[in-house]
Amino acid sequence: MRALNYIKSDLYRYTGKQNVGAFVKLYFVDAGFATQVWFRLMLLPSIFGKFAKGVSFFKQRCHGIYLGF
């Protein structure tokens, strides 16, 4: 689960913590982190990865954040 490890490391880089409370708080407070979470979930090989690609694209456009994929 490479994507989840990346999300954990991003969370630690942003907050210095790796718990669910810190994740939820940061996800709703920081638009850049939320976009990055969906960008990381695109790495999943399942149908969820394809869904995450659509959500990531939408979040990038809504917040003016552009990540190449």
Q: Taking a C-beta distance cutoff of 8 angstroms, is the pair 42, 69 a contact?
A: yes
Residue bearing the bigger pLDDT, 59 or 5: 5
Give the predicted TM-score (pTM) of the model: 0.74
Pick from 42, 43, 36, 26: nearest CA to 59: 36
Dump pLDDT digits (tens) for 1-58.
688 899 999 999 999 999 999 999 999 999 889 888 888 888 888 888 888 888 877 7
pLDDT band for position 63 (cuts 50, 70, 90):
low
Radius of gyration of the chain (CA): 12
